[in-house]
Copies of this chain bind each other. A is one copy, B any other.
Amino acid sequence: MIIRRLGIAVVAFGLAVAGALAQTLPLPENLVGASSDAGEALLVGAEAREAYFPLADNFVTQKTQSFCGVASMTMVFNAMALPAPAVPEYEPFKTFTQDNVLDEATEAVIPRATILKQGMTLDQLGAAIATKPVEASVRHAADSSLDTFRSEARDYLAQKGHFVIVNYLRKAMGQQTGGHISPLAAYDAEADRFLILDVARYKYPPVWVTVADLYAAMNTPDADNDNKTRGYVLIAKKTVQ
């Protein structure tokens, strides 16, 4: 009887530990999950979070395991409320989806078939974004610096209509495993951490990562991009001329 109760207690404990992360991989100690109590407190106290709410309202899961860049573009374009294409299922409403965000213009930059096979590099992502009426500035980590990245990304996240997408190597910040792309949503000064809204929602929750860890994970060579380093794209609406 005691043994049986212990067995049940162990099962109950297992369920409790699994908790909010039952379907995603456990986070390494250097990352703070966005829906943990610590993560919530970081967002509430974040010094720069203009990007958070428009992005959270448009958060999507990448459609395939190579569509992280496509999902990130979709989120940012909807968050910016750019003029969107029609969607048959939603007539008469219009919105960006991971299907319609790829069009003739992006096809000329990087074919959909290539993305399906191997994803996008930082430069391809920047060029695909630049096909829309936005200003997109690509920064390779090696051409930036920890301080420049912090300052540029923080300033963008603090302004309405400004967004940042990062391209980083997961394993360099303790995750499994390869190159990845997702939008940043907020910055907290005391913790010196950025919030990544990870579009592989089946794999990891959104995380708060230190600027140092994120910069190190961006400052890695990408074999698919002539070994240039990964980095970030700064995005804002084109100024009306």
Interface residues of A (CB under 8 A from B): 8, 11-12, 15, 18-24, 34-35, 39-40, 44, 53-54, 56-61, 63-65, 78, 81-84, 87, 89-90, 93-95, 201-203, 205-206, 240
Contact = CB atoms under 8 A, between A and B. Distances in A.
A205 B78 CA distance: 11
B44 A95 contact: no
B57 A205 contact: yes
B59 A95 contact: no
B240 A81 contact: no
B35 A81 contact: no
A240 B10 CA distance: 11
6 contacts: A8-B240, A20-B81, A23-B84, A57-B201, A57-B206, A93-B202
Contacts of A205: 57
Nearest to A90: B202
A240 B57 contact: no
Contacts of A58: 201
Contact of A53 (B35, B61, B89, B203): B35
A20 B89 contact: no
A147 B53 CA distance: 30
Contacts of A84: 23
Contacts of A20: 54, 81
Contact of A95 (B11, B23, B54, B78): B23
Given A12-B240, A87-B202, A93-B203, A34 B57 contact: yes
B18 A81 contact: yes
A90 B78 contact: no
Contact of A81 (B23, B59, B83): B23
Contacts of A34: 53, 57
A236 to B, nearest CB: 14
